[in-house]
């Protein structure tokens, strides 16, 4: 497949992000600041233009009140509070005065409003107080709303889709905060121009069980609102205005996938053990507390990664200790006494915290994850206290993201002790002996894993970030998707190194990145000596099928050979030959494999 994902027979080819085939009408979502042309007005038009401004602001406020009422109903008062902030921005006398001043200089209301908002956003983004910086995204939302009205553009309210629409949302990009607000009874699939399999929109779509295709590049231009489309989230294809024959072919394929899914369900109670008797521990990744129940019924033996930042994204305020305690307890209770590994806030990168943070020049190399938590100890300790308390209900283990030095672990441990003393002072019950582990997701942590080993209880390899940082390939950049190759020898060698250090220090090593859920790569990981995998609840039976169908000895031989190849593609070839000897050319073996720049090695991966 060439780098250009051009339409073939009218099909748009993107990347498979969340499996499933759906057919439905398109809903285009354009939530971007529109381009505003510079329009000069005549002096005698000034009063009417000022009136237009005030009308538009009033209409925007009315709309915000409606949206707020809906958010209150669906998501609760905390989520809805964000709209109060936006309404108060629109009531700011200074803001409106500045816009009026520009209109008096004979600039159109739209351009005047646009210029003042750009100025305010820059001013807020540079502010020393985080609380003010957090308001930048509210300003952007307000800017979009008012300009949409002034320019007479269609209202693309992100979450305003009626229930039962069965709509397929087509958008340039979807932030996690928008994704968590989507009404699953209204939306049946997601297609985005941007993104890759490991961007967080894809991860969330899989958690929500919403079929998704990402990285389509220009679908928002090629597809029109109301068009009928087929979305095939398993092979990453979108077909606008399909023929009857295409609808029939894809419906057949959907039926075959459903039958395969039903067969997989029979594995839920089976033990994940290889043909030669090696026991693999299979746990679930839980992104939202509501997923826990489903994950617990997938056959997972606990949670290998709970991504807590999804409790925070898109919110008007941080969840307090009680709310977090309830969320963690919900997950812990769903899993009886199985281990539940809860990761402390991994905000930043493409997961923006409350209100969103101002854009950093390099967000993935920026103030994120453990760095942010250590710099905001009061915020961090709220989470640590909630975790210590939730541990009263089960086997909670704490995991720190993006660690690069042992100092971070030690500092976090000190804060954990402070959090415990604070609970002592309040006389609240908690458990103190929680294991503290780290994610190994940077080349620094992998190469120097031995420097961390004495201070941690376990390693969990975050391959999504490890691949991104090792290969210097942005995990969310659709233009680089073919270069995001987890089977690159550098990545395989780092994983092998982490496994060796873990074995030497008697530490558990698991993999919780997306690599673990892709059949060929799960096979490689077993071969590299990984004995614990954590995958989306929906993927647990699929990975179990791989585990039960291979022998660890064969996997080890295949991984050894892959380690000695020169390229990811060669490594894939070596692994595939071995895996095919167990499964033939079963279609599910293609799941999640990258399309290499010069051609995908599997035939026919984009048709029914
Ligand atoms: C990873 O980086 O592999 C990981 C599991 O964490 P996240 O995808 O949330 O960054
Ligand atoms: Mg990560």
Decide: 350 in ligand 1 pocket, CB within 6 A. no
Burial of residue 310 (CB within 10 Å: 0-12, 13-18, 19+) is buried
- Say how many Å lie between the CA of residue 465 and the centre of ligand 1: 6
Catalytic-labelled residue, pool 172, 373, 488, 512? 512
Q: Looking at residue 535, what is its pLDDT? A: 96
Copy the structure tokens of residue 187: 């939306």
* 3-state secondary structure labels for all residues of 263-320: HHHCCCCCCCECCCCCECEEEEEECCHHHHHHHHCCCCCCEEEEEHHHHCCCCCCCCC
Q: What is the pLDDT of residue 443?
A: 98
- Respond yes or no: is residue 373 known to be catalytic: no
> Does residue 465 line the site of ligand 1, with CB under 6 A?
yes
* Ligand sitting nearest the alpha carbon of 310: 1
Q: How far is the CA of 45 from the centre of ligand 1 (A)?
A: 55
- The SS3 call for residue 8 is strand
Cβ of 441 closer than 6 Å to ligand 1, yes or no, is yes
Q: Is 200 considered catalytic here? A: yes
d(CA 286, CA 311): 12
Side by side, the strands of the sheet bearing 187-192 are: 12-13, 237-240, 228-232, 21-29, 167-171, 187-192, 212-214, 15-18
DSSP 349-408: TTB--TT--PPPSSGGGSS-HHHHHHHSHHHHHHHHHHHHHHGGGSEEEEEESS--SHHH
Any ligand 1 atom below 6 A from CB of 346: yes
- Report CA(113)–ligand 2 centroid distance (Å): 39
Q: Calculate Rg over the CA atoms of the chain.
A: 25
CA 486 to ligand 2 centroid distance, Å: 14
pLDDT value, residue 1: 36
pLDDT along the chain (608 residues), means of 10: 49 89 90 87 95 96 84 66 84 94 96 94 74 73 92 74 86 69 82 83 80 91 91 92 93 89 90 97 92 92 94 75 96 94 87 57 87 93 98 97 98 98 98 96 98 98 97 90 94 98 98 93 97 94 93 95 96 91 67 44 37
Task: Determine which residue's CA is closest to atom 9 belonging to ligand 1.
Answer: 307
- Alpha carbon nearest to ligand 1 atom 6, residue: 462
3-state DSSP: the chain helix, strand, coil percent, rounded to 5? 50, 15, 35
Ligand 1 binding pocket includes 464 (Cβ within 6 Å)? yes
Given the CA of residue 309, which atom of ligand 1 is nearest to it? 9
């Amino acid at each position: 497949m060439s780098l250009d994902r051009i339409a073939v027979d009218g099909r748009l080819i993107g990347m498979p992000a969340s499996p499933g085939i759906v057919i439905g009408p398109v809903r285009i979502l354009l939530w971007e600041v529109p381009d505003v042309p510079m329009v000069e007005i005549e002096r005698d038009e000034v009063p009417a233009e000022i009136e237009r401004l005030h009308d538009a602001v009033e209409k925007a406020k009315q709309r915000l009140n409606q949206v707020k009422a809906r958010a209150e109903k669906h998501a609760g008062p905390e989520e809805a509070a964000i709209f109060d902030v936006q309404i108060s921005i629109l009531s700011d006398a200074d803001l409106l005065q500045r816009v009026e001043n520009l209109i008096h200089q004979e600039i159109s209301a739209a351009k005047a409003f646009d210029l003042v908002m750009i100025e305010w956003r820059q001013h807020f983004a540079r502010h020393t107080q985080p609380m003010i910086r957090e308001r930048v995204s509210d300003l952007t939302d307000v800017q979009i709303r008012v300009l949409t009205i002034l320019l007479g553009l269609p209202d693309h309210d992100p979450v305003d889709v009626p229930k039962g629409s069965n709509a397929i949302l087509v958008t340039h990009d979807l932030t996690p905060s928008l994704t968590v607000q989507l009404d699953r009874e209204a939306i049946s699939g997601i297609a985005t121009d941007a993104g890759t399999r490991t961007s967080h929109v894809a991860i969330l779509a899989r958690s929500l069980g919403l079929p998704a295709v990402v990285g389509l590049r220009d679908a928002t231009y090629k597809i029109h609102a109301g068009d009928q489309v087929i979305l095939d989230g398993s092979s990453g294809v979108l077909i606008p205005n399909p023929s009857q024959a295409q609808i029939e072919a894809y419906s057949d394929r959907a039926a075959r996938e459903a039958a395969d899914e039903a067969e997989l369900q029979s594995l839920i109670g089976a033990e994940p053990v290889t043909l030669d008797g090696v026991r693999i521990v299979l746990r679930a990744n839980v992104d939202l507390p509501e997923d826990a129940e489903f994950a617990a019924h997938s056959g997972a033996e606990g949670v290998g990664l709970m991504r807590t930042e999804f409790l925070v994204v898109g919110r008007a305020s941080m969840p307090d200790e009680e709310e977090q305690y309830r969320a963690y307890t919900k997950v812990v209770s769903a899993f009886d006494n199985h281990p539940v590994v809860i990761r402390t806030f991994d905000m930043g990168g493409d997961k923006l915290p409350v209100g969103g943070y101002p854009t950093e020049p390099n967000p993935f190399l920026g103030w994120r994850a453990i760095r942010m938590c250590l710099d905001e100890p009061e915020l961090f300790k709220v989470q640590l206290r909630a975790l210590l308390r939730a541990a009263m209900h089960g086997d909670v283990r704490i995991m720190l993201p993006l660690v690069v030095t042992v100092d971070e672990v030690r500092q976090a441990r000190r804060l954990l002790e402070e959090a415990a003393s604070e609970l002592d002072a309040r006389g609240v019950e908690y458990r103190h002996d929680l294991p503290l582990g780290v994610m190994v997701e940077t080349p620094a942590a992998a190469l120097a894993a031995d420097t961390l080993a004495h201070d941690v209880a376990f390693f969990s390899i975050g391959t999504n970030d490890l691949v991104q940082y090792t290969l210097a390939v942005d995990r969310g950049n659709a233009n680089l998707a073919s270069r995001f190759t987890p089977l690159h020898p550098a990545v395989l060698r780092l994983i092998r190194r982490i496994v060796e250090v873990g074995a030497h220090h008697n530490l558990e090593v698991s993999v919780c990145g997306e690599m673990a859920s892709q059949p060929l790569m799960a096979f490689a990981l077993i071969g590299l000596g990984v004995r614990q995998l954590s995958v989306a609840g929906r993927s647990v039976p699929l990975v179990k099928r791989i585990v039960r169908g291979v022998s660890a000895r064969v996997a080890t031989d295949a991984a050894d050979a892959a380690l000695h190849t020169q390229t990811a593609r060669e490594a894939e070839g070596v692994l595939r030959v071995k895996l095919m000897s167990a499964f033939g050319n079963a279609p599910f073996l293609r799941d999640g494999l990258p399309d290499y720049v010069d051609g995908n090695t599997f035939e026919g991966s984009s048709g029914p």
